């Protein structure tokens, strides 16, 4: 039994108990003053991307930087070597572009690997 049907029965029962004339039908949805809100299409924005950067220093061996690029960023040997040389000559280089959570995780992994190996390699992230 729906609510509307229950309301009709209650109105009939009330009319019969008070002795007043039989009530008319309840107004339908098209006759009521209710407004209908239209569903609007919501578009989600794609997640912001962040660059993970390695910074140059004079103490971290080039081989370690290449190993980091291969292990944590999945670059092949040639690409890792080119990125390492860019870091060496320009002071910093982009290792990859990721969503915020992934970029932050990669930064932490690189920093902990550098610390374990005893190297002062610095890794940061910035909005792409």
CB 21, CB 15: distance < 8 Å: yes
Task: State the DSSP H helix or E strand holding residue 77, giving kind and residue range, or none if neither.
Answer: helix 77-90
Res. 29 pLDDT band, cuts 50 70 90: low
pLDDT of residue 34: 74
Q: Residues 34-49: pLDDT tens digits?
A: 777 788 888 999 999 9
What pTM, to 2 d.p., does this model score? 0.67
Please compute the mean of the pLDDT values over residues 20-25 and round it to a whole number: 59
CA distance 7 to 75: 70
CB 64, CB 31: distance < 8 Å: no
Q: Residues 46-59: pLDDT tens digits?
A: 999 999 999 999 99
């Amino acid at each position: 039994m729906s609510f509307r049907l229950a309301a009709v029965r209650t109105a009939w029962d009330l009319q019969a108990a008070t002795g007043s004339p039989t009530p008319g039908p309840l107004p339908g949805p098209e006759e009521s003053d209710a407004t209908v809100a239209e569903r609007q299409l919501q578009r989600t924005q794609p997640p912001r991307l962040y660059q993970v950067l390695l910074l140059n220093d004079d103490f971290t061996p080039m081989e370690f930087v290449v190993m980091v690029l291969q292990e944590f960023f999945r670059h092949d040997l040639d690409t890792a070597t080119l990125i390492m040389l860019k870091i060496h000559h320009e002071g910093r280089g982009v290792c990859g572009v990721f969503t915020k959570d992934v970029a932050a995780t990669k930064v932490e992994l690189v920093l902990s690997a550098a610390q374990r190996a005893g190297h002062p390699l610095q890794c940061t992230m910035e909005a792409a």
